[in-house]
């Protein structure tokens, strides 16, 4: 496909009115298409309706899709869908992404086809508060805003978000791109592109580059939580050498051989090391207290499913509040059926003591506690403990174990 002729005038105009977007546009593919204008990965396809807009709105709409590409929204949409295969709401995620992108463009002085969905308007309508544009853009990224909206799926905030979006001309314009198609090298290249583009815009004193470095939605060079969790669990489940009196240490064999050769006394026996052949076991403790709403519980169950798929060994699920209420061994081949059949307790408080005492007695390879950390801690069970929390706000600091945010 050849370069877009419909977008040529808008892309040329960006070089003067927004150097940051102009620089980012060079790393996107621009194509004309018979369908609606949309973004697929880093390719922007301009539909016939794009050519009917006045130039100032063409500039804003082109910038809208350039930001979708630069912020990896296609790959992030696909990653979130893979994370919640049964409960993902793609329209809510795109509402969050469009609200942020449109707020950026309007704050930078660009025009958009009206009516336009904006972040400040969405926050006002859904949460009843109106932050300043700079505060909103510095606080919210698309993933975090989606998870907040998803918390009331089926009504409430999610319903108000959809109603506000529909009244302001929202239409999905982003196609998911498999996140596996993005290599670490590609992500690093785009971070460099974004850094240089924002610097160019800041130097020119016009457009997105003036404030773009403060956006919460900018991709950050962080290790995904899935990779961190996998590393922690692998480290915990690796077989550790143990002393075995059924085999001597190599150093003792050498000393014994030397003693026999010279006719000296045989040294005291020294046991050798042998790798344990026990099957590694992981204990997943699921916080079912009042502070865990339906959205957080869905997030927790998705993580349990992910652990079962990624780890070899026994996986035991424990549901608890102030006491251990249920316990079940999960079968990877029947996982979906088992998780759907769970009848979890609801409405209790939180006490981590009984779960930690259970881990201390049974000595699993690792204990993963899916919780918001809102409760008293018990004594250290002397096994690897991973506290998996649902948000990125600063949680209480537990006296032992490692805290892992499930947001990123």
Domain map (residue ranges) of the chain: 8-221, 241-275, 281-405
Average pLDDT, the chain: 84
- Reading the block at residue 237, the tokens are 């489940």
CA distances from 251 to 5, 13, 67, 200, 271 (A): 78, 77, 64, 65, 10
More confident residue, 298 or 394: 298
Average pLDDT over residues 248-254: 81
- Reading the block at residue 407, the tokens are 């947001």
- pLDDT at residue number 13: 96
In CATH terms, the fold of domain 281-405 is Rossmann fold (3.40.50)
CB-CB contact of 248 with 269 (8 Å):
yes
User: CA-CA distance, 322 to 290, in Å (whole number)?
Assistant: 11
When mean pLDDT is compared across 249-253, 314-318, 393-397, the lowest value belongs to 393-397
- Judged by DSSP in three states, 185 sits in helix
- Reading the block at residue 246, the tokens are 């059924």
**At residue 194, does pLDDT exceed 50?**
yes
- pLDDT at residue number 152: 65
More confident residue, 132 or 390: 132
Which helix H or strand E contains 367, and what residues bound it? strand 366-370
109-149 residue pLDDT tens: 999 999 999 999 999 999 888 889 999 999 899 988 998 88
User: CA-CA distance, 98 to 115, in Å (whole number)?
Assistant: 13
Return the DSSP state at 371: S
More confident residue, 343 or 118: 118
Start-to-end Cα distance in the chain: 36
Winning range, highest mean pLDDT, from 8-22, 120-134, 309-323: 8-22
User: CA-CA distance, 314 to 117, in Å (whole number)?
Assistant: 48
- pLDDT at residue number 381: 92
**At residue 224, does pLDDT exceed 60?**
no
- pLDDT at residue number 31: 96
**At residue 198, does pLDDT exceed 70?**
yes
Beta pairing class for 402-405 and 324-330: unpaired
When mean pLDDT is compared across 87-91, 226-230, 288-292, the lowest value belongs to 226-230
User: CA-CA distance, 192 to 183, in Å (whole number)?
Assistant: 14
User: CA-CA distance, 123 to 125, in Å (whole number)?
Assistant: 6
Length of the chain: 408
User: For the whole prediction, is pTM greater than 0.75?
Assistant: no
Average pLDDT over residues 32-39: 95
- pLDDT at residue number 185: 60
- Reading the block at residue 197, the tokens are 């583009």
52-69 residue pLDDT tens: 999 999 999 999 999 999
Beta pairing class for 241-248 and 281-287: unpaired
């Amino acid at each position: 496909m050849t370069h877009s002729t419909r977008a040529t005038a808008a892309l040329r105009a960006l070089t003067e009115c927004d150097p940051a977007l102009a620089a980012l546009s060079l790393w996107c593919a621009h194509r004309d298409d018979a369908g609606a204008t949309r973004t697929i990965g880093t390719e922007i396809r301009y539909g016939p309706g794009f050519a009917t807009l006045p130039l100032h709105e063409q500039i804003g709409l082109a910038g809208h899709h350039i930001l979708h590409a630069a912020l990896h929204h296609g790959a992030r949409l696909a990653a979130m869908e893979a994370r919640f295969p049964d409960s993902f709401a793609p329209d809510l995620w795109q509402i969050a992404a469009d609200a942020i992108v449109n707020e950026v463009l309007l704050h930078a002085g660009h025009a958009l086809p009206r009516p336009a969905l904006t972040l400040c308007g969405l926050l006002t309508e859904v949460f009843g508060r109106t932050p300043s544009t700079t505060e909103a853009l510095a606080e919210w990224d698309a993933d975090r805003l989606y998870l907040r909206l998803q918390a009331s799926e089926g009504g409430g905030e999610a319903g108000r978000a959809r109603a506000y979006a529909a009244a302001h001309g929202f239409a999905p314009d982003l196609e998911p791109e498999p996140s596996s198609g993005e290599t670490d090298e590609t992500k690093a290249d785009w971070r460099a592109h974004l850094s240089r583009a924002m610097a160019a815009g800041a130097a020119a004193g016009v457009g997105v580059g003036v404030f773009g470095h403060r956006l919460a939605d900018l991709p950050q060079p962080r290790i995904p939580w899935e990779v961190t969790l996998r590393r922690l669990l692998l480290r915990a489940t690796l077989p550790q050498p143990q002393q075995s009196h059924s085999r001597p240490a190599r150093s003792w064999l050498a000393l014994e051989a030397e003693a026999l050769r010279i006719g000296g006394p045989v040294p005291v026996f020294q046991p050798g090391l042998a790798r344990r052949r026990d099957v590694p076991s992981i204990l997943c403790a699921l916080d079912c207290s009042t502070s865990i709403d339906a959205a957080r519980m869905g997030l927790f169950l998705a993580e349990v499913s992910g652990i079962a798929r990624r780890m070899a060994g026994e996986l035991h699920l424990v549901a608890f509040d102030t006491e251990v209420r249920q316990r079940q061994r999960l079968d990877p081949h029947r996982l979906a059926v088992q998780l759907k059949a769970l009848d979890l307790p609801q409405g209790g408080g939180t006490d981590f003591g009984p779960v930690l005492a259970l881990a201390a007695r049974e000595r699993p390879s690792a204990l993963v506690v899916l919780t918001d950390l809102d409760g008293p801690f018990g004594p250290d069970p002397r096994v690897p403990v991973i506290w998996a929390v649902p948000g990125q706000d600063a949680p209480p600091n537990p006296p032992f174990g490692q805290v892992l945010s499930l947001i990123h």
